[in-house]
C-alpha cells in the first residue's frame, strides 16, 4: 500500500477519478490545500465527497513554494509519503519540486515547468526541431502588434500560463488582437490566487483536424495508449465541444501523431508522467499545439477506459509511486466511445433542459451529466463553462461520435435572462 500526498486538485471529474484510482489500487492519500472551501462549495450531488476518502486533510499555503517545501518535509517525516501528485495544472510544477525535494518518484521539475508554460514549451520544441506553428513571445502591446504584422493574420493569441482554453482567441486583424490582449490583461490573477505573467504567445492559425495523443512515460520508455479526436467551436474562442476515442484516422496519420507526441515529450525531457499532447494534422504534417504533463481532462480518460480497459487515472497514481502501470489493452466490447458537451451561448439562469428525459436508458449511452435548474449561466468562453455532457459508445465501429450528436440534437437548454 502506498501513501500519496495530493496537492490541490480540480473540482471536476479528475478530482473524483484520482481518489477512486487510489482506493482501487489499495493506496491512501493525504490532501493538502490552501483553501478547503474551494472544494466544499462544489460537493457532488448523490455521491460521497471525494475528500472523505482522504486519510488526512491539511492546509498550507500551496502558492508559496519556499514556505511549502520545508512544511511538506516535516509532514513527510511524520506521515511518510511514497509519492506526490495533483490533477490541477497550476500545481504540477510545485508537485514536481516537492517530489524532487523529498526524493520521491516524479518527472524532472524543469521539464514540468517548461511544459506548463506555453512560451517555454514552444521554445523547447522549436530548438529540438519538433514541428509547430510560427510563433512569437511578446512582453508588451507594442511587441505584440509588431509580431502579429510579421507573422500575418489570422493568428491565435494565448496566455502563457492558463489552461482549459481560457482567453485563447482567434484574431483576424489588429482591432481583434487589441481586444483579446486587453481582455487577458484584465485577468492578472488565476482562479487559484496565483499572479499571472503578462507575457502572451502569438501563433499562426493552423488548419486541419485536431487530435490528442495519450501517453504514459516511465523509466525512459513512452507508451502511446491511443489517439483521441476533438471538435472545437465557440469562435473566436477555442472551446472543446466533443471527443472520440479512438480517433477515426488512417493508420499513417495516427502513427505520425504518435511519433510527434513522443518527440515533443523528449524535447521537453518529460519522463515518469502521464501526458496529453494536442496536435493539429495539417497538410504539411502534424504540428504540436501544446503538451500537458498530466492525464487528459474532459472525461477523455474515461473514453479510453471504456474502449481499452486502460485506466489512465490509475496509471497516474502508479507512476507517481514509481511503479510500472498496467497498460494491457483488453476487449471491453466497446469499439469507440465519444463525449459531447452542452455549450451555452447566452448568459442568464438555467430554467430547464428540454429533452433530457430521453437520455435515460437510451441505447449506447454510457453516462450523462447535466446542470441543475437555477444554475447561473455565462456564454461559454472556455472549457470551464459547460452545462453538461453525454457520453455514448459504439460496439461495432467508429460511430460513437455520430451517436452522441444524435442524442445531443434532442437536448435544448432553456436559459432565461436575469
Nearest to 303 by CA among 367, 361, 219, 357: 367
H-assigned helices in 208-282: 251-268
Same fold, 133-204 and 207-332: no
Cell of 139: 512582453
pLDDT at 16: 84
**pLDDT tier for residue 39 given thresholds of 50, 70 and 90:** confident
Rounded CA separation 188/194 (Å): 9
Nearest to 226 by CA among 312, 158, 286, 288: 312
Rounded percentage of the chain residues whose pLDDT exceeds 70: 98
Query: Among the listed ranges 31-40, 147-156, 265-274, 292-301, which one has the minimum average pLDDT value?
Result: 31-40
- Kindly list the domain boundaries of the chain, sorted by start residue: 3-104, 133-204, 207-332, 335-418
CA distance to 17, 104, 270, 336, 407, per residue, from 20 (Å) = 5, 22, 26, 23, 28
Cβ atoms of 239 and 294 within 8 Å: the answer is: no
Q: How is domain 207-332 classified at the CATH fold level? A: D-amino Acid Aminotransferase; Chain A, domain 1 (3.30.470)
For 133-204, CATH number? 3.30.1490.20
CA distance to 64, 241, 342, 368, 409, per residue, from 233 (Å) = 37, 6, 11, 21, 16
- Domain 335-418 annotated CATH 3.30.470.20: yes
pTM of the complete model beyond 0.85: yes
Nearest to 291 by CA among 52, 113, 147, 135: 113
Q: Tens of pLDDT along 123-169? A: 999 999 999 999 999 999 999 999 999 999 999 999 999 999 999 99
Q: Which residues pair with 245 in a beta bridge?
A: 337
Three-class secondary structure of residue 159 per DSSP: strand
Mean pLDDT of the chain: 95
Q: What is the DSSP letter of 269?
A: T
Q: Domain 3-104: which CATH class? A: alpha beta
Amino acid at each position: 500500500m502506498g501513501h500519496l500526498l495530493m496537492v490541490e486538485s480540480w473540482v471536476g471529474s479528475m478530482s473524483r477519478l484520482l481518489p477512486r484510482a487510489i482506493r482501487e489500487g489499495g493506496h491512501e492519500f493525504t490532501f493538502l490545500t490552501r483553501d478547503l472551501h474551494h472544494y466544499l462549495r462544489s460537493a457532488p450531488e448523490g455521491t460521497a465527497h471525494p475528500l472523505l476518502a482522504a486519510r488526512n486533510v491539511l492546509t498550507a499555503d500551496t502558492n508559496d513554494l519556499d514556505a511549502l517545501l520545508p512544511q511538506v518535509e516535516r509532514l513527510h517525516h511524520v506521515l511518510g509519503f511514497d509519492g506526490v501528485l495533483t490533477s490541477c495544472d497550476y500545481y504540477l510544477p510545485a508537485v514536481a519540486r516537492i517530489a524532487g525535494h523529498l526524493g520521491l518518484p516524479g518527472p524532472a521539475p524543469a521539464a514540468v515547468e517548461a511544459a506548463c508554460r506555453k512560451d517555454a514549451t514552444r521554445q523547447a520544441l522549436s530548438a529540438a526541431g519538433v514541428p509547430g506553428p510560427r510563433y512569437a513571445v511578446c512582453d508588451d502591446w507594442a511587441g505584440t502588434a509588431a509580431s502579429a504584422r510579421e507573422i500575418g493574420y489570422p493568428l491565435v493569441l494565448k496566455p502563457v500560463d492558463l489552461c482549459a482554453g481560457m482567453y485563447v482567441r482567434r484574431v483576424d486583424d489588429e482591432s481583434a488582437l487589441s481586444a483579446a490582449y486587453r481582455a487577458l490583461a484584465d485577468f492578472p490573477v488565476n482562479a487559484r490566487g496565483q499572479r499571472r505573467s503578462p507575457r502572451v504567445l502569438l501563433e499562426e492559425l493552423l488548419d486541419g483536424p485536431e487530435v490528442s495523443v495519450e501517453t504514459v512515460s516511465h523509466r525512459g520508455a513512452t507508451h502511446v495508449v491511443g489517439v483521441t479526436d476533438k471538435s472545437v467551436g465557440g469562435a473566436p474562442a477555442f472551446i472543446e465541444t466533443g471527443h472520440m476515442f479512438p480517433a477515426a484516422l488512417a493508420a499513417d496519420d495516427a502513427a505520425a501523431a504518435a511519433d510527434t507526441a513522443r518527440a515533443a515529450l523528449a524535447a521537453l525531457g518529460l519522463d515518469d508522467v502521464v501526458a496529453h499532447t494536442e496536435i493539429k494534422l495539417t497538410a504539411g504534417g502534424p504540428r504540436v499545439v501544446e503538451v500537458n504533463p498530466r492525464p487528459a481532462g474532459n472525461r477523455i480518460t474515461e473514453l479510453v477506459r471504456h474502449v481499452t480497459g486502460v485506466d489512465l487515472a490509475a496509471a497516474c497514481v502508479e507512476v507517481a509511486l514509481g511503479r510500472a502501470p498496467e497498460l494491457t489493452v483488453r476487449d471491453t466490447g466497446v469499439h469507440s466511445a465519444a463525449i459531447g458537451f452542452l455549450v451555452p451561448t447566452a448568459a442568464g439562469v438555467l430554467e430547464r433542459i428540454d429533452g433530457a428525459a430521453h437520455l435515460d436508458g437510451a441505447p449506447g449511452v454510457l453516462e450523462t451529466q447535466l446542470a441543475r435548474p437555477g444554475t447561473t449561466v455565462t456564454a461559454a468562453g472556455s472549457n470551464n463553462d459547460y452545462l453538461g455532457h453525454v457520453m455514448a459508445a459504439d460496439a461495432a465501429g467508429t460511430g460513437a461520435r455520430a451517436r452522441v450528436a444524435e442524442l445531443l440534437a434532442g437536448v435544448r437548454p432553456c436559459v432565461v435572462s436575469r
